[in-house]
Structure formats: C-alpha cells, structure tokens
C-alpha cells in the first residue's frame, strides 16, 4: 500500500463514539437508495428490507469472524424471480424461494471449504456470467419504464413521467459531476430531489405518514404465522440459478475488497465463510419477509475512498438500519415516495446492471468473433430477455433468466474450445477496480 493510502482505521480498530456514528451514517446513506428500491419493485415493506439488511450484515460479520468489512443490502438479481414467485404463489412462495437461495449459498460454501473455489469459477466463466447479468438488467427494463410513465391507475401520464425524468437527470448529474462522498450516493440524492419535485406537482400522498406512529412494528412475513412454507421444484429452479450467478458476483466483490484493504480475504477468513455469511443473511431475511441480501459495491467504494475499514463502523450502520426500520414515521415516509420517482432511478440502475455485464465481457477480453463465445452469449441473451419457458406437467416450470443461466452453463461445459484458465474470472476486473481505489 502506498504511503498516501495510509489506513485511517484498520479492520478491528474501534473509532471514537462521535466519529463512529458519523462513519456509520455514511455507510447507511451509501446503501439506502438501492436497498429500499428492491422492496418497492417486489411489493415488500421497505422497513423490513432495512431491518433484514442490518440483521444480515451482523450475521455476515459474525460468520466471517469480524475479518471482512462488508455491508449487505437488497439484491437486484432476485427482483424478477421474486415477482414471478409472488405471482404464482403469493408472498409465502417468494420467501420460500429466498430460503432456497440461501440454502444454495450454504451448500456451495460447504463444498468450497472441502474442495476450494476454482471449480465454481470454471462453471461460471465471464462468457456465461456476463450475458446473464445483461439479462438481469434488460429483463427489468419494462418494469422501470412502466413505473416511470404510468400513474397509480396504470395509465400513461406525462406529469408522472416528468418526475421520473427529473429524478433520472439529477442522479446522472450527481454521478458525473459530484466528487468524494456525494459521488457515492447519487441514487439517494436523485430520489430526494425527485421527491421534492413530486411534492411540488402534487403527486405525493402523506396520509400514511400522518397516521403512522413513531415506534411501529414493520409488516413482517413470518413462516407458519403468515403462510405455510411449501417446497416447490418450480420455485427452486426459479431461484437457484440466480443464486449461482450472484455467487460469482460475491467472489468478485471479495477479490476487490481484498485489494482495497490489503489483505487476502479469499484465503483468510476464507471464501467459504463469506459465502456462508451471505447465505445465512439471505435465509434470515426470508424468515422475516425481506428480500435476499448481497454484499454491496457502493459500500466497498466508501471503504476505498475513506480508507476506514473498521468492522465496527459497518456494524454500526447495520444497527442504524435496524433502528430506522422500527421508526414508523420514517417507514411511512419512505413508502410515500411516488412510483415514478423510483422508476426514474430504476431506468439508470437496471441499465447499469446490464452494462456491468458488458463490462465483464470487455474486461475479460471475451472474443465474440469466436463462434463458441458468440453462440453461448447469443443463446443466453435471447432466451433470457425473450422469456423462453420449459413447462412439464402442472408443477414444473423453468423460464427466463433461470433457464438462460442453466443453458449457458451447459453450453459452456459441452462445446469444444473451453479456456483452461477460467479460474481467473474476476482478475482483470479486480485489477481495474483496485487501481481506482
């Protein structure tokens, strides 16, 4: 590490109380916009998402022996599967699917502990993961545009679309022109500005804010209380392939984070521990009705800029998130954000997800002039975005992104000419990010 990159607080350093609170709020702001957006899209309680992200982060820190400074928030990759699961079996089915995704993480963690992690990188090389990530982003494009352009009745409204455009414009301006900490929270600034504009044009409903108590229990969805959990192969096949893709994202985050903090976190405390922590966090979120969790790149960016790596700071942010979830006025205020405002942010975020898949292909130097690479990526894109479906009987259904991911893995395994050095999946991307940090 260079002299001008001297660590301010190392992983186990404890800051002074006032500094601790300020630094923890900074991480809370960095994850806030994206974490509350997911429950908006899948019709969950944003307060529950905040609580589950905080609880999930504390679980992650505990499982990793307080050696991996990471914050976990709502995962965008599971939005489409959660919507599909809810449409087919209600909120209970979505939560069972999230539990199964967490179980996939746990199983993979146990296998990695015994065999090492290179096999999963061979199974999911950039030529498979990149196009699947593109499918995740573009598959949600229609949802984002519908949120941005429609009024509560589902009809086109230029007035509502203007709120989305203002939100989108401010978010873009903040991303491009703002520096330092404010460059890390363009989503939050965009939502705040869009909210003020929506307030000015009269499309904000404050009735729920006025009715809410200061201290209020969120709308938890508890198994055996609010629903009876039922296993379904359809739900498993809907969620498990997405879990495999987010696992590769998790590994990438751990490699980048290792470079930022100057320690090999993949070796110690071990990739199996961080994956297990991620999986148990997702399982715990499902037990209370929250969306699946994932490590957040936004918070890794905060670590890189501030050079404050203290797990106490991340833990403090988790406690703040849990606290906010139980403050009824704050939860109601979040829920009062008009759908077009969230739609404006979604246009950019979902596009960024798709573009990150393209970036993976470019950074990994995937040659689409090679017929093998071209075939794999083309089939994944069309099947995933086109919404292809395999139905067998009444209870078995595999479609969209999940089907595309499975077919991509199979094509990569059976087509000749597979690269032998697939274990370097995130090497180029890690080097690029670490140079920035």
pLDDT in tens, 214-252: 888 888 999 999 899 988 888 888 888 888 878 877 887
Question: Which of the residue ranges 27-41, 142-156, 175-189, 306-320 would you say has the lowest mean pLDDT?
Answer: 175-189
pLDDT surpassing 90 at residue 120: no
Chain Cα centroid distance, residue 384: 19
pLDDT surpassing 50 at residue 72: yes
Q: pLDDT category, 22, cuts 50, 70, 90? A: confident
Q: What's residue 110's pLDDT?
A: 95
pLDDT surpassing 50 at residue 118: yes
Q: pLDDT category, 430, cuts 50, 70, 90? A: very low
pLDDT tens, residue by residue, 392-427: 766 666 777 778 888 999 999 999 987 765 444 344
Q: What's residue 3's pLDDT?
A: 41
pLDDT tens, residue by residue, 374-384: 999 999 999 98
pLDDT tens, residue by residue, 141-157: 888 899 899 998 889 99
What's the whole-number average pLDDT of the chain? 85
Structure tokens at 34: 């994206």
Those residues whose C-beta lies under 8 Å from the C-beta of residue 243, and which sit 6 or more positions away, are 101, 104, 105
Is residue 191 within 8 A of residue 167, CB to CB? The reply is: yes
Burial 18-51 (b: 16+ CB within 10 A, else e): eebeebbebbbbbbbbbbbbbbbbbebbbbbbbb
Q: What's residue 168's pLDDT?
A: 94
- Are β-strands 293-295 and 389-392 bridged in parallel, bridged antiparallel, or unpaired? unpaired
Q: What's residue 2's pLDDT?
A: 45
What number of helices (H) and strands (E) belong to the chain?
18, 4
Radius of gyration of the chain (CA): 21
pLDDT surpassing 50 at residue 1: no
Chain Cα centroid distance, residue 323: 21
Q: How far apart are the C-alpha atoms of 406 and 379, rounded to whole Å?
A: 11
Those residues whose C-beta lies under 8 Å from the C-beta of residue 413, and which sit 6 or more positions away, are 123
Is residue 73 within 8 A of residue 267, CB to CB? The reply is: no
Question: Which of the residue ranges 144-148, 173-177, 356-360 would you say has the lowest mean pLDDT?
Answer: 356-360
Q: Is residue 335 exposed (0-12), middle (13-18) or buried (19+ Cβ within 10 Å)?
A: middle
Q: What's residue 434's pLDDT?
A: 44
């Amino acid at each position: 590490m260079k002299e001008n990159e001297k660590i301010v607080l190392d992983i186990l350093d404890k800051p002074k109380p006032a500094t601790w609170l300020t630094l923890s709020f900074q991480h809370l702001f960095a994850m806030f916009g994206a974490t509350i957006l997911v429950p908006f899209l899948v019709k969950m309680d944003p307060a529950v998402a905040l609580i589950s992200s905080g609880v999930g982060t504390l679980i992650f820190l505990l499982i990793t022996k307080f050696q991996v400074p990471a914050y976990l928030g709502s995962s965008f990759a599971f939005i489409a599967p959660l919507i599909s699961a809810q449409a087919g079996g209600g909120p209970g089915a979505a939560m069972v699917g999230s539990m199964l995704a967490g179980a996939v993480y746990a199983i993979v963690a146990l296998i990695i502990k015994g065999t090492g992690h290179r096999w999963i990188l061979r199974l999911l090389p950039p030529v498979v993961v990149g196009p699947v990530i593109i499918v995740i982003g573009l598959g949600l494009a229609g949802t984002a545009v519908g949120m941005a352009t429609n009024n509560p009745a589902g009809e086109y409204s230029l007035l509502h679309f203007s709120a989305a455009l203002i939100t989108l414009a401010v978010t873009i301006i903040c991303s491009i022109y703002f520096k330092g900490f404010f460059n890390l929270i363009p989503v939050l600034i965009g939502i705040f500005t869009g909210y003020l504009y929506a307030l000015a044009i009269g499309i904000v409903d404050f009735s729920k804010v006025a009715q809410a108590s200061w201290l209020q229990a969120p709308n938890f969805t508890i198994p055996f209380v609010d629903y009876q959990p039922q296993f379904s192969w359809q739900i498993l096949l809907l969620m498990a392939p997405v879990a495999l893709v987010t696992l590769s994202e998790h590994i990438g985050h751990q490699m980048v984070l290792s470079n930022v903090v100057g320690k090999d976190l993949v070796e110690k405390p071990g990739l199996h521990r961080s994956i297990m922590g991620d999986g148990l966090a997702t399982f715990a979120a499902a037990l209370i009705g929250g969306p699946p969790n994932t490590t957040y790149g936004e918070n890794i960016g905060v670590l890189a800029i501030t050079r404050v790596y203290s797990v106490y700071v991340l833990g403090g942010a988790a406690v703040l998130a849990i606290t906010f979830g139980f403050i009824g006025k704050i939860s109601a205020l979040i829920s009062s954000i008009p759908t077009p405002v969230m739609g404006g942010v979604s246009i950019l975020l979902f596009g960024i997800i798709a573009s990150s898949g393209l970036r993976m292909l470019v950074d990994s130097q995937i040659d689409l002039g090679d017929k093998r690479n071209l075939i794999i990526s083309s089939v994944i894109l069309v099947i995933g975005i086109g919404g292809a479906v395999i139905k067998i009987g009444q209870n078995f259904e595999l479609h969209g992104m999940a089907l595309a991911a499975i077919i991509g893995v199979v094509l990569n395994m059976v087509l000749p000419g597979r690269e032998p050095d697939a274990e370097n999946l995130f090497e180029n991307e890690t080097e690029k990010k670490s140079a920035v940090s």
